[in-house]
Structure 1
Amino acid sequence: MDTILIGIAGGTGSGKTTLADKLVESFGRDEVSILRHDNYYKRHDDIPFEERAKLNYDHPDAFDTDLLCQHILELKAGKSIEMPVYDYAMHNRSDKTILVHPAPVIVLEGILLFVEKDLCDLMDIKVFVDTDADVRILRRILRDVKERGRSLDSVVTQYLTTVKPMHEQFVEPSKRRADVIIPEGGQNTVALEMLIERVRKHLNLVQNQ
């Protein structure tokens, strides 16, 4: 299948998910599919909940990169895949999956996408969303407290102990692998329009083959 993979990475709260969602929403489901890196956290059924809650989920080793690469290759080969679903409340994968069909364009979004070379090699376009740290932490606090039911203290503690150090060690350096750097993510309408136009050109080529 003539498919392009667009990777959208960036720090927590940078706006990468908003950018990815707006890009997908600009086209039909038959034209663009989306994969979420967070759904590929490793399964930890053998670890008690209290211990799972203490794991470092901001390290590259927290992800099942092999499964994600396998799923990308299957989608590019024209096969549907069952994307796992991560349950933030349980700190583990749920028993649910999301059926993702092959499409001419696949959007993959996540914080640590550009850290793994094997994953980068599968991408045709690598976009890094760059947003100031103070804006990112405020967005993360609002999201985790309001949407995920976490306490303010737990969010701040996690940010200082793992999120910030892992961002400095892994996320920020991975920006060098990006093809395009976009400030402010989904709020950057000019950058969004450029991505939409790039996708539209690919879709036109596919339709004319």
Structure 2
Amino acid sequence: MKSPHLLGIAGPSCSGKSTLARAVAAHYVALDPIVLPMDAYYRDLSGLSIEERAAVNFDSPEAFEHELLLGQVRDLAAHRPVSMPVYDFTTHTRAGTRPVHWTGRLLVVEGILTLHWPMLNALFDSRVYVDLDDATALARRIARDTRERGRTPESVAKQFQESVTPMADAHCRPSRAAAHRVLDGSGAPEALAGELRDWLAARI
């Protein structure tokens, strides 16, 4: 049986990574794709107070259990079962796990730091970076976090200025150099997905 194709999608906050990953998975449904969002691998902060959790820098590499992600990508690529974490963004805690026994041929990992760790990069057959300017990213993030994560616009803007942008400059944007393909995330999602599908067609 042919080995699964591993695709890593990285880029700054709200650049369209999740939408792109879902579009690729929908297009290659015959390959029984699976998408791993890096956000699921945030560290469980249940041992911290509410105030301490709010002070955590969620855009730093240290905020993620990247060793767990790395191990589960390896296991899934070998078609071994895993217990995938489920993260609760409203409480910044791990809500539990869900059993996954996947036997498909396309595995997609997406997140701000997907291309940050060399050991994870080494597993990917295709590495994609989705670029986006800060102004557009902030507008999208305010819309998303107020709608989906119970945040206020003020708290989102404060976090963006104090940690999101500095961490993107320090860790996310440098990972662009590891990408095989760089996409412009400011355009229509359909066009972005089409560009990636066309590029992947010769690689999968």
* TM-score, normalisation: structure 1: 0.88
Structure 1 CA distance for aligned equivalents of residues 40 and 199 of structure 2: 27
Q: Once superposed, which parts of structure 1, at least 4 consecutive aligned residues long, lie more than 6 Å away?
A: none
How many angstroms does 1:50 deviate by? Answer: 2.0
The range that moved more, 23-32 or 187-196, is: 187-196
Are residues 1:109 and 2:110 paired? yes
Aligned residue for 2:29, secondary structure, equals coil
How many angstroms does 1:51 deviate by? Answer: 0.9
Aligned residue for 1:45, secondary structure, equals coil
Q: Deviations over 1:69-92 (max 9, x none)?
A: 111111111113221011000011
How many angstroms does 1:32 deviate by? Answer: 0.8
Query: Which runs of 5 or more residues in structure 1 are unaligned?
Result: 204-209
Aligned residue for 2:109, secondary structure, equals strand
Who is 1:26 aligned against?
27
* 1:1-16 matches, cutoff 5 A: 2-16=3-17
- Does the aligned pair in 1 maintain the 2:16–2:130 contact within 8 Å? yes
Structure 1 CA distance for aligned equivalents of residues 133 and 77 of structure 2: 35
The range that moved more, 33-42 or 192-201, is: 192-201
- Does the aligned pair in 2 maintain the 1:130–1:183 contact within 8 Å? yes
Query: Which runs of 5 or more residues in structure 2 are unaligned?
Result: none
Who is 2:175 aligned against?
174
* 1:116-127 matches, cutoff 5 A: 116-127=117-128
* 1:87-166 matches, cutoff 5 A: 87-97=88-98, 99=100, 101-166=102-167
* Cα root mean square deviation, aligned: 2.0
Number of equivalent positions: 203
Aligned residue for 2:98, secondary structure, equals strand
- Does the aligned pair in 1 maintain the 2:46–2:92 contact within 8 Å? no
Structure 1 CA distance for aligned equivalents of residues 18 and 59 of structure 2: 16
Who is 2:58 aligned against?
57
Identity %: 33
Structure 1 CA distance for aligned equivalents of residues 129 and 149 of structure 2: 25
Structure 2 CA distance for aligned equivalents of residues 202 and 11 of structure 1: 25
* TM-score, normalisation: structure 2: 0.91
How many angstroms does 1:190 deviate by? Answer: 5.0
Give the letter aligned to residue 73 of structure 2: I
How many angstroms does 1:201 deviate by? Answer: 5.7
Structure 2 CA distance for aligned equivalents of residues 172 and 98 of structure 1: 33
- Does the aligned pair in 2 maintain the 1:33–1:100 contact within 8 Å? no
Structure 1 CA distance for aligned equivalents of residues 37 and 149 of structure 2: 17
The range that moved more, 180-189 or 135-144, is: 180-189
Aligned residue for 1:13, secondary structure, equals coil
User: For residues 57 and 80 of structure 1, do their structure 2 counterparts lie closer, same or farther at Cα, with a shift above 3 Å needed?
Assistant: same
- Does the aligned pair in 2 maintain the 1:83–1:100 contact within 8 Å? no
Q: Deviations over 1:97-148 (max 9, x none)?
A: 3635132110110001111111111111100001222111100000011221
